[in-house]
Structure 1
Amino acid sequence: MTSDYSGDDFYCDVALKGAVPLKKEYESDAVLAYHHTRPFWPVHIVVIPKRHIASFVTLSADDTPIFLEMVEVMKTLAASVTAEHGAARILTNLGRYQDSKHLHFHVSSGEPLR
């Protein structure tokens, strides 16, 4: 289902509905972190809020607790990835760079696979 998905919110429409198997790194009532279903880097973990938030620039004061939890998750994952692989990056995209219109961060390491 991931290769033929053509909507604009993969996380709400597919991942959070359990439509594809996910290799989870972290899960709470508010946040999910899992290995990307179509990785761009050898290590590619996605951190998302379980509640729909459109993007980084649409975060509101009401989203602060979720965002702070996401930051803690990214900090822990980035430290682990750095310890194991020697480097990590954290990235989010906006506007036309954002394929899925749901706030998400990539924790990754390595050179692009494609």
Structure 2
Amino acid sequence: MQDCIFCRIVRKEVPAEIVYEDEQVMVFKDIQPAAPVHLLLIPKKHIPTFFDLTEDDVSLIGHVQLVAGRVARQLNLEEKGFRLVSNCKEDAGQLVFHIHYHLLGGRTLQWPPG
């Protein structure tokens, strides 16, 4: 947890272009964007994967979802929409083992993603 890059960003030890922050959630720009809008939404609480969630985290994860909509609206994505994606474990493409969501928008996104 101490070496987790997202925990270090939350503690402001590593710089990030933060676009939203409250007591529970941080949203910042992805350093390798896959779309014109590519943000990472993370709970400030370190939770490695979805398999590590507990009943105590239900409100936190719901809050992340609400923040996604609010931030997308502020970025004028309400009309065209956005994609919210989270990868769980290696085969799904999870590179940082701290639950996070990718908010992608600003262009037409293809399906299936990969």
* Equivalent of 1:61 in 55, 63, 78: 55
Aligned ranges 1:13-32 → 2 under 5 Å: 14-32=8-26
Give 1 or 2: higher helix fraction. Answer: 1
- SS of the residue aligned with 1:83? coil
- SS of the residue aligned with 1:99? coil
Shift of 1:78: 3.3
Q: Paired residue for 2:44?
A: 50
Q: Can you list the C-alpha shifts for 1:57-86, whole angstroms capped at 9, x where unaligned?
A: 3211011121111010012223444237x3
The two structures, once aligned, show a CA RMSD in angstroms of: 2.2
Q: Taking structure 1 as reference, are residues 59 and 18 closer, same or farther at Cα in structure 2, changes over 3 Å only? A: same
Write the distance in 2 (CA, Å) between the matches of 1:80 and 1:31.
16
Q: In the alignment, is residue 83 of structure 1 matched against residue 78 of structure 2? A: yes
The count of corresponding residues between Structure 1 and Structure 2 is 103
| Structure 1 residue ranges, 4+ long, deviating more than 4 angstroms after superposition | none
Structure 2 spans left out of the alignment, 5+ residues: 110-114
Amino acid paired to 1:11:
F
Q: Paired residue for 1:98?
A: 94
